[in-house]
Structure 1
Amino acid sequence: MHILFKGTFSKIASQLLLGLSLLSVQQAYAQKSTSHSPYSQFGLGQMREDLLPQTRAMGGVSTGVRYLNGLPTLNLSNPASYSAMNRTIMEAGLYGNLTQLSKNESSDNTADFAFSHIAIGIPLNKFGGLAFGLLPFSDVGYSATSTQSIDTLNYRTLIEGQGGVNKAFLGYGVSPIKGLSIGANVGFLFGNLYDITKVEFPNALGAYQTQQKTTRNIRGASFDYGVQYSKSLGRKYNLTVGYSGSLDNQITAKTNRMVTISEPSFEEDYEAPPLDTTSIYQVGNRKLNLPLKHNFGVTLSKGYNWMVGADFKYADWSKYQVRDGENKLGKSYGFAVGGQIKPDPTSVRYLNQVDYRLGFRYNQTPVVFRNQQINDMAVTIGLGLPLPESNFGRTFSQVNISAEFGQQGTLKNNLVRERYININLGFTINDSWFIRRSLD
């Protein structure tokens, strides 16, 4: 007997991994935010959640997801699902958004894209499954401008936030008894969040521009866990009930501040380099408590044909140590419903083999601003486009696309309403990397 490694697939997968890994490292160190939400100034910014395009397309239903199309899937939201894997699964993708910000009678449109995720799941047979990868944890991206005057001197103040936090993780899941699975993820959070204040004098040609840049360097570990119970209902149906959660993990924010001056710029897209640094100092280190989370979910599926599910999510941000002048964060509640259908898995028509996904989600965020609760809701749709099988059916791939049409915030109390379209594109490879054969 011997073990045959599939070199062709390994070469393709390695090239894809290398390319997306370089992209992910570049994004991680460049810290270019894909958020354009004014509400990302609170806490650690817009939370991205551990969702892949497959589950985002179903409203974020994920806690009870163990199988898609009757086959095990890599579900980062609940590490208990890792124990079901019977093939090596590789996931990689990109993320983009279109955002319209409205306040009173004015509106502004923005667009951006970035690395979304890269993850690998490896089955360990009766010993469960292992997963690891890199994905965004949160984004900060906001800006506001105001014009004021002192006597006859006019000046403009620009406040903006940039950056993001990334998450590298390692997870393991195992099934100690039939039908029951448990698992956990250990993550490392890292990244920089920038809060920038600029003062410009548009009508004073000889006046220097001043910029204060506060950098929060985020570092720390996170721990989340999950449980799933899966049971067959007759020969056709499967029911999975899941729970996932996280401890109120404590991370560190190392803060420093730098003030610089530069010459005035009269070109809109040009920013003059600093002439001098007037001060630079370390503000100090702060311990930050991440929220205690509880997620409950259930899914019902019929083999390759369809799946429906629902999630309820709770997170307590009340122990998070906000900065001076910031509103205290509260508790967050949310729910999601969704599902997918494959018209006819046995059909030779391609459109009958496509996965069609639909969902809805609603979240009461932990942010209360100007006595107004900030809520977020979205309708989600998506497709799972199968690619031709190879290696005699041992390797099969799929392109997953999801779109979220949502709204956050309100026009009440002079606030900003954010309407967005989030696009997620993912590429999934399922393969038996090592095949044991018998030789005559």
Structure 2
Amino acid sequence: MGDLRSYSPSYLRGWGGLSAAHNSMARFNIDNPAALGNIGGSIFDFAANGNVVLMKSNSSSGAFGYSAPEYMSLAIPLKRMKAGLAFGLQSFTRNNYNITQNNDSSDVNAASYNTYVGQGGTYKVFMASGMKLKNFSFGLKANYVFGTMNYVSTLVFPDSINGYNSLKHGDKTLGDFLFEGGLQYKIKLKSERHLDLGICGNLQTNLNATQDLLFERFLNNGLVNDTVYNVSGVKGVLIYPMQYRAGILYTRDNKFSVGAQFSSSAWSNYSSFGEKDSVTNTWKISSGLEWIPNAKSMDGYFNRVSYRFGIYSGINYVSLNGKSLTENGITLGFGFPIRHSSSELNLNFDISKIGSLNTNNFQEYYFRGTFAFSLNDFWFIKRKYD
């Protein structure tokens, strides 16, 4: 599948990505469609991210980075129905790696190296709807998943005159529907205080795909000696696993929120064209908080800024040599209000460690930054007095 993109909207990533239970009048929760029943105005969102990855084993190390747009969406309230409707484009998975592995040998002619290159990605065009009935909200999100993932691997014997080098090239193209759903329940406490419960996710889904495969042998002079096979348009299925996220959130309106979330996915059921991969079931526990010093301040801008912090710990979906990889991280974020409105610029950071040199002989450090802006319909109202 490649590198999976974050489920949570940008404004939640700074405090642990607590998307299952969160809802707001001025913010669109792209992960749980049930939250659409609570929006109070039209909301346009755009987000982009940048990533730096440091990889290390007991024998080697490497680093790479990339950046890309992440999602764009428009949410519209249907006030008479106490419901909301949303449309958008969202990054789903991304391939972006280039790895070289040296295979040393005392025999010069047997020394070799492997290269592994991945490019491309997949996206989701979605339509979502949510409705609120008293304190209960429910929603459904329909995604059309599309895109192509490219994989190239080579085995080269650089010092062998007659050695047969090999190249494998594969393209997988997805084009099918994926449905997600969510539920939320609000418990009203004292004035401006409430407790929110939520769950969202998807059932296991078979995604139709096509595959092109090419396997060649070539000599060091670059000439192709033999095409072992070359097929295109092979139809198959990618089994995307069941996943869910459940959370709880305590909020004092326009002041602070604090909560926790549990996430799980059955990646051991994943397969692509009948082939299993080195993936395992996952779980993650997240917690975080958001604090606004004084949301109604007229003269102190930074009193109206949202300050966010979160932590998480769990098991990554990738396994290495049959062993799971732990994943632990911290998050930090800021929501900068635009004028005296509910529109805001969001800046979030996520630092995580995956794996362990002692347990897995491998570890990764991820540094992720997300920039986003959210404009609600109050932004577009022409003010008579400024």
Q: Quick check: TM above 0.5?
A: yes
Q: Does 1:89 align with 2:43?
A: yes
Q: Give 1:228-307 correspondences, 5 Å limit.
A: 228-259=184-215, 278=227, 280-282=230-232, 284-307=234-257
The residue type equivalent to 2:144 in the other structure is F
Give structure 1 stretches of 5+ with no counterpart.
Answer: 1-43, 266-271, 436-440
What percentage of aligned pairs have identical amino acids?
25
Q: Which residue of 2 aligns with 1:428?
A: 374
Matched residue SS, 1:351: helix
**Distance in 2 of aligned mates of 1:262 and 1:282:** 21
Given that residues 52 and 426 in structure 1 are in contact (C-alpha distance below 8 angstroms), is that contact kept between their aligned partners in structure 2? no
Q: Which residue of 1 aligns with 2:10?
A: 53
Given that residues 327 and 369 in structure 1 are in contact (C-alpha distance below 8 angstroms), is that contact kept between their aligned partners in structure 2? no
- CA, structure 1 residues 238+277, in 2 after alignment: closer, same or farther (shift >3 Å)? farther
Given that residues 343 and 375 in structure 2 are in contact (C-alpha distance below 8 angstroms), is that contact kept between their aligned partners in structure 1? yes
Query: Which piece of structure 1 moves more, 281-290 or 80-89?
Result: 281-290
Matched residue SS, 2:34: helix
Query: Which piece of structure 1 moves more, 133-142 or 327-336?
Result: 327-336
Matched residue SS, 1:55: helix
**Distance in 1 of aligned mates of 2:260 and 2:80:** 29
Q: Does 1:312 align with 2:262?
A: yes
Q: Which residue of 1 aligns with 2:75?
A: 121
**Distance in 2 of aligned mates of 1:414 and 1:248:** 29
Q: Does 1:163 align with 2:120?
A: yes
Query: How far 1:191 sits from its partner (Å)?
Result: 1.6
**Distance in 2 of aligned mates of 1:139 and 1:355:** 30
- CA, structure 1 residues 189+354, in 2 after alignment: closer, same or farther (shift >3 Å)? same
Given that residues 104 and 414 in structure 1 are in contact (C-alpha distance below 8 angstroms), is that contact kept between their aligned partners in structure 2? no
**Distance in 1 of aligned mates of 2:257 and 2:339:** 23
Q: Which residue of 2 aligns with 1:23?
A: none
The residue type equivalent to 2:33 in the other structure is P
Q: Deviations over 1:293-342 (max 9, x none)?
A: 22211111111111111111121223322567755644221111011001
Q: Which residue of 2 aligns with 1:349?
A: 300
Given that residues 9 and 19 in structure 2 are in contact (C-alpha distance below 8 angstroms), is that contact kept between their aligned partners in structure 1? no
**Distance in 1 of aligned mates of 2:220 and 2:374:** 49
The residue type equivalent to 1:81 in the other structure is A
Matched residue SS, 1:318: helix
Query: How far 1:276 sits from its partner (Å)?
Result: 10
Q: Does 1:358 align with 2:309?
A: yes
Q: Which residue of 2 aligns with 1:130?
A: 85
**Distance in 1 of aligned mates of 2:357 and 2:212:** 35
Query: How far 1:110 sits from its partner (Å)?
Result: 1.8
- CA, structure 1 residues 370+324, in 2 after alignment: closer, same or farther (shift >3 Å)? farther
**Distance in 2 of aligned mates of 1:65 and 1:400:** 16
Given that residues 153 and 167 in structure 2 are in contact (C-alpha distance below 8 angstroms), is that contact kept between their aligned partners in structure 1? yes
Q: Which residue of 2 aligns with 1:193?
A: 149
**Distance in 2 of aligned mates of 1:327 and 1:245:** 22
**Distance in 1 of aligned mates of 2:191 and 2:335:** 25
Matched residue SS, 2:113: strand
Matched residue SS, 2:302: helix
Which of the residues 355, 358, 364 maps onto 1:412?
358
**Distance in 2 of aligned mates of 1:105 and 1:244:** 41
**Distance in 2 of aligned mates of 1:276 and 1:216:** 26
- CA, structure 1 residues 276+398, in 2 after alignment: closer, same or farther (shift >3 Å)? farther
**Distance in 2 of aligned mates of 1:401 and 1:132:** 23
The residue type equivalent to 2:258 in the other structure is V
Q: Does 1:321 align with 2:271?
A: yes
Matched residue SS, 2:21: coil
Give structure 2 stretches of 5+ with no counterpart.
Answer: 382-386
Q: Give 1:137-176 correspondences, 5 Å limit.
A: 137-142=92-97, 143-147=99-103, 152-153=108-109, 154-175=111-132
Given that residues 100 and 109 in structure 1 are in contact (C-alpha distance below 8 angstroms), is that contact kept between their aligned partners in structure 2? yes
Q: Deviations over 1:247-272 (max 9, x none)?
A: 1121023221124688979xxxxxx9
